[in-house]
Structure 1
Amino acid sequence: MNLQTGIDAPRLEIRNLRKRFGNRQVVDDVSLSVKPGQVTCLLGPSGCGKSTTLRMIAGVDMQDSGEIYVDGNLICDTLFRIPPERRQIGLMFQDFALFPHMSVADNVAFGLRGATADKRARVEELLAKVNLSWAIDKYPHVLSGGEQQRVALARALAPRPRIMLMDEPFSGLDNRLRDGIRDETLAVLKEEDTAVLLVTHEPEEAMRMADEIALMRDGKIVQQGAPYNIYNAPVDKQAVAFFSDINVIRSRSNGALTDTPFGQFLTPGFQDGEAVEVVIRPQHIKLDFDREGRGPLPTPTDGVAARGKVKRARFMGNESLVEFVMEHDDSELHVTVPNVFLPKPDTPLWLTIRRDRCFVFRAEV
């Protein structure tokens, strides 16, 4: 059954997938689509259902309900199921699973059919793309982890899959190599015009690689969109916290306004007396060194200043993390400052917050 055709049709589409193991709903009504040449990241904490979703698409696990389409053609529902080997879907996992007794060339050619000369040509083409032509007749044990990962990529791409499913494929690599390998892998996948669904629990990896992020939690996709939008327009406090450390300022709404030590925030739609949380990342709190003697006067962009005393300061490499105890209620706020800034404990400083970078949510119960 073909429901969609044309240049804008998704290469992969899943609709309302559900999967339960025992009493636990692991995947709960998950829907998404991926176009040719697009990289979509399923991002979320361990145990949220990301890998199970991937396994259902691959055909390793069977969904309890829902449908999976490739190029508009139904490949699996609860009654009809195309076997995994006929789905034209490539798989890459954290474990490269190369055959140790086979050469690099034989590993890459493993899933290929046809004439020997055609297989060899495809192997040579892919190894050139991943800069491993020199290793064609070597064995996996003489290669580094990053090189083995590139062989695994070439093997997965060899049969020209329409879709590539990747489950934490870079997590076993050394941090110093990871960024380069990710960038090389992304370039090859884009060149092959493959639709990619990448599972990761690392926000940095998703931001670096994805055209679109699907943020997953407790078996559901809670937010989906471009990385910029996911980061700058988060759906709730947990979404903000997944991408970075956060500060939370608690108050209550009154007449569509919420009073805080940093001035008032608009809270339309909130009931009077309803608990409100103003969330701001540490890098968006500013230290005002020129405010001494002027007090907590409001400014057009940053609102009212509030004073805190330094509790601790640490240098983190590219920035300094300064922890403050606020004078108004003894709450703690964390501030990141570029470069080296290490004030002594108990140093009083005025703080202002980037009001355009604050998020206002109903307090979580």
Structure 2
Amino acid sequence: MSGPIPRLVPRLEIRNLRRSFEGRAVVDDVSLQIMPGQVTCLLGPSGCGKSTTLRMIAGVEMQDSGTIHVDGKLICDTVFRVPPERREIGLMFQDFSLFPHLTVAGNVAYGLRGTKAEKRARVEELLTRVDLLRYIDGYPHQLSGGEQQRVALARALAPRPRIMLMDEPFSGLDNRLRDGIRDETLSILKEEDTAVLLVTHEPDEAMRMADEIALMRDGRVVQQGAPYNVYTFPVDRAAVSFFSDANVVEAKVSGALAHTAFGRFLAPGVEDGTVVDIVFRPQHVRIDFDRAGKGPLPTAVDGTAARAVVERARFMGNESLVEFRMDHDGSLLKATVPNVFIPNAGTVMWLTIRRDKCFVFPREA
């Protein structure tokens, strides 16, 4: 008989990390697990505690409570602490932090142990992988921003870290370079089987790079999961809005139904009289071209059509954004339409919203 299946041990695990400054909780009970080869993204607005979490894991900031483990072994609590240089953790930051007086080879080799030949071999291997071997004897100022970022990646990977911490590493690059370098970086990190914790405030970057997203707000992880799940099943109105524009319709619940100009929405478990927000993204607003001027008619999927007047419209490149002023309450509602669609201001249209793409949340005080 075969033995029990061994439990997979996280490459990095943090448990209940807390850190306060001047009585304010900057990181409040944060726990994460990252497996080898997995990319987890700490996503959230500036000041939510992302970078402080990273600094505690790196060892340059001490937690008030909680523990940090690498491959199942404790490396830091409030008593025991492995020094930063012995944690086998690589670091990448926005400014690259290359040494201007060292060659590209000298930057990549910085911190490497071993003989001169062993160091040279590792440098050449990594520079070949990032397609910069021809610049091995050059200096950082001779390289473009994208090339400097790749040197920084090679330097961070040189000592074969088990974990890579990345704090907004691509934000200094222009949009033309960013996507390609992100994909290249991700490919190399996956090949090295490195566990990656990436900090960013850009949802698009998190969706593009992460296997798992931990959405932070006010020092806490409010939602965690695969990008599809975090985007598709948000925990609250703020989570919807963080990933995209969001429309909000206010309604009052009666008999587990929220009543609106767009029809009734299910609100199971919500007490009668409770005010709720019905939240939906602009791409889930439908313009009913066949119903113009015919009045509101109910449909099974989209409920009731509501009358609106075009406020403004503009072409955004691969879609058009149309803003409507709603007849029933004067609120503004946004809709996106594929390709070019620029109706004149004042045009009357009827709108519906997809029931399966709406979220109903009790209104927060």
How does 1:230-245 map onto structure 2 within 5 Å? 230-245=230-245
* Partner amino acid, structure 2, of 1:248: V
| Equivalent residue number for residue 175 of structure 1 | 175
- Following superposition, the deviation at residue 6 of structure 1 comes to 5.0
| Equivalent residue number for residue 261 of structure 2 | 261
* Contact 2:17/2:28 (<8 A) preserved: yes
SS of equivalent to 1:107? helix
* Partner amino acid, structure 2, of 1:196: V
- Following superposition, the deviation at residue 294 of structure 1 comes to 3.7
- Following superposition, the deviation at residue 7 of structure 1 comes to 6.4
| Equivalent residue number for residue 149 of structure 2 | 149
| Equivalent residue number for residue 112 of structure 2 | 112
Distance 2:111 2:174 in 1: 28
- Following superposition, the deviation at residue 321 of structure 1 comes to 1.0
| Equivalent residue number for residue 296 of structure 1 | 296
Q: In terms of mean alpha carbon deviation, does 187-196 or 285-294 score higher?
A: 285-294
- Following superposition, the deviation at residue 175 of structure 1 comes to 1.1
Distance 2:215 2:172 in 1: 22
Distance 1:246 1:312 in 2: 17
1:158 correspondence with 2:170: no
| Equivalent residue number for residue 56 of structure 1 | 56
Q: In terms of mean alpha carbon deviation, does 311-320 or 194-203 score higher?
A: 311-320
How does 1:70-219 map onto structure 2 within 5 Å? 70-219=70-219
| Equivalent residue number for residue 332 of structure 1 | 332
- Following superposition, the deviation at residue 328 of structure 1 comes to 1.1
* Partner amino acid, structure 2, of 1:303: G
| Equivalent residue number for residue 248 of structure 1 | 248
Distance 2:20 2:52 in 1: 10
SS of equivalent to 1:249? strand
* Contact 2:68/2:77 (<8 A) preserved: yes
The Cα offsets for residues 285-313 of structure 1, whole Å up to 9 and x where unpaired, read as: 01010013542111121111111001111
- Following superposition, the deviation at residue 83 of structure 1 comes to 0.2
- Following superposition, the deviation at residue 338 of structure 1 comes to 1.1
SS of equivalent to 2:112? coil
SS of equivalent to 2:303? coil
Identity %: 74
* Contact 2:39/2:196 (<8 A) preserved: yes
SS of equivalent to 1:290? helix
**C-alpha spacing 1:348/1:293, structure 2 compared with 1 (3 Å):** closer
Distance 2:39 2:27 in 1: 21
What are structure 1's unaligned runs of at least 5 residues?
none
| Equivalent residue number for residue 224 of structure 1 | 224
Q: In terms of mean alpha carbon deviation, does 258-267 or 236-245 score higher?
A: 258-267
Q: In terms of mean alpha carbon deviation, does 213-222 or 294-303 score higher?
A: 294-303
* Partner amino acid, structure 2, of 1:260: T
* Partner amino acid, structure 2, of 1:228: Y
| Equivalent residue number for residue 12 of structure 1 | 12
1:352 correspondence with 2:352: yes
The Cα offsets for residues 244-302 of structure 1, whole Å up to 9 and x where unpaired, read as: 00000001110101111111111111111001110010111010100135421111211
- Following superposition, the deviation at residue 128 of structure 1 comes to 1.0
* Contact 2:76/2:82 (<8 A) preserved: yes
Distance 1:7 1:180 in 2: 36
The Cα offsets for residues 295-342 of structure 1, whole Å up to 9 and x where unpaired, read as: 211112111111100111111111111111111111111111111111
| Equivalent residue number for residue 306 of structure 1 | 306
Distance 1:203 1:76 in 2: 30
What is the count of residue pairs matched by the alignment?
361
SS of equivalent to 2:298? coil
* Partner amino acid, structure 2, of 1:121: A
Distance 1:280 1:32 in 2: 29
Distance 2:145 2:187 in 1: 19
Distance 1:130 1:256 in 2: 57
TM-score (normalised: structure 1): 0.98
SS of equivalent to 1:96? coil
Distance 1:7 1:58 in 2: 26
* Contact 2:285/2:354 (<8 A) preserved: yes
Distance 2:329 2:142 in 1: 60
What are structure 2's unaligned runs of at least 5 residues?
none
1:69 correspondence with 2:69: yes
| Equivalent residue number for residue 287 of structure 1 | 287
* Partner amino acid, structure 2, of 1:168: E
| Equivalent residue number for residue 29 of structure 1 | 29
**C-alpha spacing 1:259/1:119, structure 2 compared with 1 (3 Å):** same
* Contact 2:292/2:348 (<8 A) preserved: no
| Equivalent residue number for residue 43 of structure 2 | 43
SS of equivalent to 2:180? helix
Distance 1:275 1:355 in 2: 18
* Contact 2:312/2:324 (<8 A) preserved: yes
